[in-house]
Amino acid sequence: MNELADARRRMVASQIRPADVTDRRLQDAMLAIPRERFLPRSMAGSAYADMEIDLGEGRRFMRPRDFAKLVQAAGVKASDLVLDLACARGYSTAILSRLCETVIGIESHAPFASKAEGALSDVGADNAVIVTGDIRKGAPDQGQFDVILVNGAVEIVPDAWLDQLAEGGRLAVIVREQGVGRAKIFTRQGKVTGSRTVFDSMTSLLPGFEREQAFSL
């Protein structure tokens, strides 16, 4: 076993499983997908560290623990159509591809989208598609989604995301409220959308999703 493969195994053993991530399909996906393949070579040594990784352009790899807990909370099924927002260089899309029927990754930064396409091809994620587009708008032309995952925290949740949920669909996103990040699952039932909080997280904000500051005299 090479050094990075051993680091990947230790990440799952010491960061993922102790965080109550019990989904064996998710554990297996994180053991199988080489996280370093989705990073610049200069960052490969940090691929399995217990921290966020700043990719530039407002994109980060979420802390492995937080990412895994968020995906597990979304309850991704093998038959699901999944939308992966702010997918950056495609690692999250690769993991989701092991759990669902089809996953569409949306990335607004074209060079990252291009890197994601190449990396996904390398790992055999044939059921994954990368689209360069506006994260805020989602993918309205691709149908209703069973799961929408957001790679980063937001202070505002666009209505467009909720509108693209299928009946019983789940939006998994970390919402920053008064400086505190909370991972939430929004679920659509008919015309009603409810939410529940699943854990706290200090995941960094996605640029452009900050709440406008109120001015007072």
For residue 45, being part of any structural domain is answered with: yes
For residue 160, being part of any structural domain is answered with: yes
For residue 205, being part of any structural domain is answered with: no
For residue 62, being part of any structural domain is answered with: yes
**Size of the chain in residues:** 217
CATH code for the domain in which residue 156 is found:
3.40.50.150
Domain hosting residue 167, numbered range: 3-200
Count of domains for the chain? 1
DSSP element (H, E) containing 60: strand 59-61
* CB-count exposure of residue 179 (10 Å: 0-12, 13-18, 19+): exposed
Helix axes 64-74, 24-32, angle to 10 degrees: 140
pLDDT in tens, 69-105: 999 999 999 999 999 999 999 999 999 999 999 999 9
For residue 206, being part of any structural domain is answered with: no
For residue 211, being part of any structural domain is answered with: no
pLDDT in tens, 14-50: 999 999 999 999 999 999 999 999 999 999 999 999 9
- Partners of 59 in beta bridges: 56
For residue 188, being part of any structural domain is answered with: yes
For residue 217, being part of any structural domain is answered with: no
What are the Cα distances from residue 39, in Å, to 82, 107, 207?
23, 15, 20
For residues 116 and 88, the answer to whether their CB atoms sit within 8 Å is yes
